[in-house]
Structure 1
Amino acid sequence: MAYLAHTGTFDVENYGDLLFPLLLAKRLPGYEVRPVSPCGGNPVWSDCVSSAPLEGLLGSKCRGIIVGGGNIIHPNPSSLARYRKCGADIRGYADLWIGAALAAGKDVPVLWNACGVPRPIGTEFAEIAREALLRTDYLSVRDELSRKYLQNICPDLEIAVVPDSAWDLPSLWTADELDSTFAALTGGTPGDCGRHVAIHLNRRYTKDVGDIALGAIIDGLCDALDARPILVAIGPCHEDDVFARAITPYLSREPIILDRPQSLRQVCAAISRSDFYVGSSMHGYITAAAFGVPAVVVARKMIKFSGAVHRAGAPETLVRSWKKVPGAVRRIDRDALSATFLQSQKAASAELTAHWSAIASQIDRGSQMEATLWDPSALHAYRARFQDICTRQKTAGKLPTRKRIGQGLKGLFGVKY
């Protein structure tokens, strides 16, 4: 069977990123897919995929390279401990799209799957990024601002704006599978599990409210909805699990704590079978919306969140603080919002059908023979060049140290965001 290489962050505990290989396999069933991630490794959860680092597939043959999705189109270092340990923290993200394109064999199509661009590409990296973009055969991003950021460095690019592929989630598992998984999580029976509100917490978005006040807000939400809270650690790699456990003593209603998810299906069931979702995960929000579950997302007005709520047809569901959640929930007509979400999912699914057809056409348009995936000398040349840029940046004082990265320093590579 012909195979495709698929790049992304499939080697860390983060629900949204881990979904992409399953969604791709559902849409392109005629291909074997080999996931490629900065470190690689065994499946993170039971229904996830194993992955290999980029150099693990050197010299192999393939029919195409799929990049993403995810918020991965940037050249910046990662603060994740896993990437530091395997030495991929500096170039890990760049490898997924710059390295993947510049080292690709000449007959291998490079195709993007609705990626996100979190901030403008720094001028120091503009040239190498531009070369990678021009080498890519099909560019697609998930929001207009991502397209604008790329066209800032390459104005003539043709870039499609398509929905995040997580809008396809209702096709990934059957209703019975999700019902059974939710029943096992809640201790109920399929279709009769009581009322629940799925809650995702991330410390980055609760800095203006203490744990006691946050607990009171969650209690008030559960009282208003007459629902038991499910604390869902959507991104344990960001210590969501630690926060979920830490907030529990401040809650009046005993929560169900999904701090160490066992599977993607378990997380999807926790959200899609709840009566409401509130949290700071874009893919948690998309999961709720795709299944018609009323939702509010709590986050700064970052690109990915703004793009998600507009795609859902409900910009009013984005609030910047947990302090705003009670008012937002009171104002929501839950039945009307559910209907809006389901209509948006139907439209997104139709757009995704066209998107995947475009990708399949690019694969079929290329050589019918498998070609060399990544050329070792080209990969070496790219990495040497990228390292040289980083070294010059560090010498100039613009490249943050690992410690400062871990503290959430803004302005990486001189770019404010």
Structure 2
Amino acid sequence: MERIALCGVFDIPNYGDHLFPLIVRNELRKRGCDYEVVLFSPSDARECFVEDSHIHSLDDMERMHQEQPFRAIIVGGGEIIHWHRYQQKYSFSRDSFRDYPMDKVWIVPFMMKLKYNVPLIWNAPGIPYDYDIERQCANFLFSNIDYISVRNTFSKEVLQRCGVPAERIHQIPDTGFALGSLAAPADLARMRGDLQLDEGKYVVFHCNRFISKEDEDAAFNALNGLHDKGYAVYLLPLAYTHGDDAKLAAIRDRSGGRFRMPESPLSLFQIIAVLSGCAMYVGTSLHGTVTASVYGRKVVSFDYQQTKKTHDLYNTLGLGDYYVTDGSQLARTVDLALKQQRPVDFTEILDAIKQHFDTIVSVLDKGECLHPNPTTQASQFSDMAFLFFTYAYECEGLRKRVKELTEALDTNLRFVEIFKGRSEYLQQENDKLQQEMTETLDYKLNNTKSRLTHRK
């Protein structure tokens, strides 16, 4: 069986990222594609939320390709096309956070394309930040992709500013919207029954460790209002990697047992079951909104982190009135959604995703690059390496100069502290001598006046 490499964030516990392998496999299967989909992430792991699914380290991709070549490499989705390494929890049980090398998820596939000319496909990932001084480098990286698709307008604009022709960029809705065909409704209903959740009678809330105390208080008050209206409140961790579970547990404890949450991490399909049966989803997760809305449930985004991806999502769905960044507006918006929000028509979105996977399958069937590596790439790579080392050299020089100036400043501050004490002592001595001089002058002046008076 031929193999496809799928690269993404599958080695840490974040619900949305783990939808993509299921959807890719499901969409390929629906089109009669019998390929083995091999998952790759920065670290070797067992896939979170999914039992017995192995994740290979991207460090092993080249060796595995040499042993048995991959027909193509697919990257995404998720908000993954950037250079930043943010702090993440790597498993359900860990309390510590460490930097996650997101750049490897898309740079390693690029290097595989560069070296082996293996077809490279983007599965509608997102680009959260613009590229400024590194646009020349970004153009080199992005221009080598055989099929470029991104999930929102901002990502497309970033690519265009980096010099990628507009006609090569396909703007596709987040492929998470295709999750509706992953599980049978009866199976989802059974899972909700196992979790003791009555369809349509509970509200799901999600937040993470980045929520402020003021926004947490606002959310707690809004949830209390829903509870008073007769809705059960279910606190659902979706991104354990962001410390959701600890924050939601604190909210549960604060409620005195009125709010519920899972006692242990749910499976991917259990999470889908919970979100597909709620009366409303309120929270900060993009894929929490995607899942609930696909099943016709009401949604309110509490995007206190003000992310571009979630803002674009709600505008795309025509739900801009239910996108909130200020906690003071949350309770009012929740009430508005309960009274007025209508289900979204996903016909155009699902048609676009269907066309997207049809295109991917056509690339896979051809088994060859749509855009073979140009003969000028070696020179481009040389220029890119030169720029990197030039910037690195300049930065190292600046770091050394900053270190020298910092050390000099520290030395001067120590001298200031030393002489500050000496200065205070000398000032006291000066004041004392001034006083003595004043007293001496006064004495002599009085003595002189006395002698003059005596002579008269």
Q: TM-score w.r.t. structure 2 length?
A: 0.75
* Conserved? CA contact 1:48–1:263, under 8 Å: no
Pick from 38, 53, 61: which aligns with 1:49? Answer: 53
**Residue type of the partner of 2:146?**
D
Indicate yes or no: 2:306 matched with 1:306.
no
Once superposed, what is the RMSD of the aligned Cα atoms? 3.0
Indicate yes or no: 2:327 matched with 1:318.
no
Indicate yes or no: 2:207 matched with 1:197.
no
Pick from 238, 246, 249: which aligns with 2:250? Answer: 246
For structure 1, the 5+ residue unaligned runs are 369-379, 398-417
**Residue type of the partner of 1:319?**
V
Pick from 107, 110, 118: which aligns with 1:108? Answer: 118
Q: Distance in 1 between matches of 2:146 and 2:254?
A: 52
Indicate yes or no: 2:263 matched with 1:285.
no
Indicate yes or no: 2:230 matched with 1:229.
no
SS of equivalent residue, structure 1 residue 18: helix
CA-to-aligned-CA distance 1:167-204 (integer Å, 9 cap, x gap): 01111111011111111112x5xxx5571001101232
The 10-residue stretch of structure 1 (177-186 or 236-245) with the greater mean CA deviation from structure 2: 177-186
Q: Distance in 2 between matches of 1:48 and 1:165?
A: 24
Q: Distance in 1 between matches of 2:316 and 2:286?
A: 12
Pick from 64, 71, 88: which aligns with 1:63? Answer: 71
* Alpha-carbon shift at residue 385 of structure 1 (Å): 8.4
Q: Distance in 2 between matches of 1:296 and 1:127?
A: 39
Q: Distance in 2 between matches of 1:38 and 1:390?
A: 26
* Conserved? CA contact 2:299–2:337, under 8 Å: no
* Conserved? CA contact 2:235–2:260, under 8 Å: yes
Q: Distance in 2 between matches of 1:207 and 1:152?
A: 38
* Alpha-carbon shift at residue 250 of structure 1 (Å): 2.5
SS of equivalent residue, structure 1 residue 114: coil
Indicate yes or no: 2:353 matched with 1:349.
no
**Residue type of the partner of 1:294?**
K
Q: Given the superposition, is the C-alpha separation of residues 302 and 17 from structure 1 closer, same or farther in structure 2, using an over 3 Å criterion? A: same
* Alpha-carbon shift at residue 11 of structure 1 (Å): 0.4
Q: Distance in 1 between matches of 2:88 and 2:282?
A: 25
Pick from 166, 177, 180: which aligns with 2:187? Answer: 177
| 1:371 equivalent in structure 2 | none
SS of equivalent residue, structure 2 residue 86: coil
**Residue type of the partner of 2:174?**
D
Q: Given the superposition, is the C-alpha separation of residues 332 and 32 from structure 1 closer, same or farther in structure 2, using an over 3 Å criterion? A: same
Q: Distance in 2 between matches of 1:386 and 1:44?
A: 39
SS of equivalent residue, structure 1 residue 51: strand
Q: Distance in 2 between matches of 1:174 and 1:381?
A: 53
Q: Given the superposition, is the C-alpha separation of residues 121 and 46 from structure 1 closer, same or farther in structure 2, using an over 3 Å criterion? A: same
* Conserved? CA contact 1:231–1:259, under 8 Å: no
**Residue type of the partner of 1:273?**
G
Q: Given the superposition, is the C-alpha separation of residues 392 and 175 from structure 1 closer, same or farther in structure 2, using an over 3 Å criterion? A: farther
* Alpha-carbon shift at residue 359 of structure 1 (Å): 0.9
**Residue type of the partner of 2:150?**
V
Query: Which structure dedicates a bigger proportion of its chain to helix?
Result: 2
SS of equivalent residue, structure 1 residue 73: coil
**Residue type of the partner of 1:363?**
L
| 1:82 equivalent in structure 2 | 90
* Alpha-carbon shift at residue 127 of structure 1 (Å): 3.1
| 1:374 equivalent in structure 2 | none
Q: Distance in 2 between matches of 1:28 and 1:386?
A: 40
| 2:454 equivalent in structure 1 | none
| 2:161 equivalent in structure 1 | 152
Q: Distance in 2 between matches of 1:290 and 1:96?
A: 28
* Alpha-carbon shift at residue 295 of structure 1 (Å): 0.7
SS of equivalent residue, structure 1 residue 204: coil
**Residue type of the partner of 1:358?**
T
CA-to-aligned-CA distance 1:141-160 (integer Å, 9 cap, x gap): 11101111121112425211
**Residue type of the partner of 2:138?**
A
- Written as runs of structure 1 = structure 2, the 5 A alignment for 1:2-13 is 2-13=2-13
* Alpha-carbon shift at residue 259 of structure 1 (Å): 6.1
| 2:18 equivalent in structure 1 | 18
| 2:447 equivalent in structure 1 | none
SS of equivalent residue, structure 2 residue 43: coil
Indicate the percent of aligned positions where both proteins have the same amino acid. 27
* Conserved? CA contact 2:300–2:337, under 8 Å: no
SS of equivalent residue, structure 1 residue 21: helix
For structure 2, the 5+ residue unaligned runs are 370-380, 400-456
The 10-residue stretch of structure 1 (171-180 or 127-136) with the greater mean CA deviation from structure 2: 127-136
Pick from 212, 220, 244: which aligns with 1:215? Answer: 220
CA-to-aligned-CA distance 1:67-112 (integer Å, 9 cap, x gap): 00000000112322539x9x9947x222211221123254411111
* Conserved? CA contact 1:162–1:355, under 8 Å: yes
Q: Distance in 1 between matches of 2:112 and 2:106?
A: 10
Q: TM-score w.r.t. structure 1 length?
A: 0.81
* Conserved? CA contact 2:237–2:244, under 8 Å: yes
| 1:265 equivalent in structure 2 | 269
* Alpha-carbon shift at residue 384 of structure 1 (Å): 8.4
Aligned residue-pair number: 372
Q: Distance in 2 between matches of 1:239 and 1:259?
A: 15
| 2:280 equivalent in structure 1 | 276
SS of equivalent residue, structure 2 residue 341: helix
